[in-house]
Amino acid sequence: MSWQGIDESEMVRAWALAEVTGPSSPLQQVPQLDPVREKLRAGGAGTLTNADWQLLERGIRLTRQPMLDPLLALRPTWYRGHLPIDVLAGARTINYQRFVELAPSRRLAALCVTRGQPGGAPEFDRAAMTAPPILIGPTLDGPWCLVEGYRRCCRAIRDDLAGHFDGLPLPVIVGVGPDMSRWRWWL
């Protein structure tokens, strides 16, 4: 796998971009982001100004503070790259009570089959992906924990299990560092 180093703000922006249009995201409750959502719908991320990006970054840092602050305090090194779907399926889920109840193994593939309609019509739309999923791990070889991107990843995994997936690796952002397993959402 080929990895390209990125800075923390690129990861934060990707997280914000994914959530600002997500149907269940707390960013949906921030009316100041309505103009940004409109710009995204009309022309995509390329139409956003520096002021729009700053607003998005502030929004995600506030709404996801319980996850982001402890993660960023571990000072991961961030990369952009691709992961095969089988590697993604083997990632662990965050230590979120609902996820643990649905998939006690904490494996992403196990969680994915408890959600959605496995075996139905294809669900994953690569072209509609607004931002890459975000994972963390101790090294660039993993093991991985999915931080953000559960809907996208589960759709791709279910499509793979149903034989509908295109087989191409998924673009991802990963944060690595020796202390990643100390993140409270990993435990």
Cα–Cα distance measured from residue 140 to residue 180, given in angstroms and rounded to the nearest whole number: 12
Same domain for 10 and 86? no
187 domain residue, yes or no:
no
Conformation bin of residue 91: beta by default, left when phi > 0, alpha when psi is -120 to 50? beta
- Predicted local confidence at residue 78, as pLDDT: 98
Q: What are the pLDDT digits (tens) for 2-11?
A: 999 999 999 9
How crowded is residue 6: how many other Cβ atoms within 10 Å of its Cβ? 18
The token pair at 174 is 């990963």
Long-range contacts of 121-129 (CB under 8 A, 24+ apart): 121/164, 122/159, 122/162, 122/164, 123/155, 123/158, 123/159, 123/164, 124/152, 124/155, 124/156, 124/158, 124/159, 124/164, 124/165, 125/155, 126/166, 126/168, 129/171
Q: Are residues 115 and 34 in the same domain?
A: no
Return the ∠ at Cα 145 (arms to 141 and 150), rounded to 5°. 125
| 47-86 pLDDT per residue, tens | 999 999 999 999 999 999 999 999 999 999 999 999 999 9
pLDDT (0 to 100) of residue 119 = 57
How many angstroms separate the CA atoms of 71 and 62, rounded? 14
pTM of the entire predicted model: 0.92
**What does the angle CA 29 – CA 65 – CA 150 come to, to the nearest 5 degrees?**
70
The pLDDT assigned to 87 comes to: 96
- Tell me if 136 sits within 8 A of 83, measured CB to CB: no
Residue where one domain finishes, among candidates 54, 69, 84: 69
Instruction: Based on the fold, state whether residues 101 and 116 are members of the same structural domain.
Output: yes
Calpha distance 144→94 (Å, rounded):
10
The parent domain of residue 115 ranges over: 76-182
From first to last of its 187 residues, the chain has per-residue pLDDT tens of: 699 999 999 999 999 999 887 777 887 788 888 888 888 888 888 899 999 999 999 999 999 999 999 999 999 999 999 999 999 999 999 999 999 999 999 999 999 987 766 556 778 887 788 899 999 999 999 999 999 999 999 999 999 988 888 889 999 999 999 999 999 998 8
- Residue 117, domain member (yes or no): yes
Task: Give the SS3 label for residue 145.
Answer: strand
Domain check: are 64 and 99 in the same one? Answer: no
The Cα–Cα gap between 70 and 20 comes to 22
Total domains, the chain: 2
Longest dimension (CA), the chain: 43
Give pLDDT, residue 34: 87
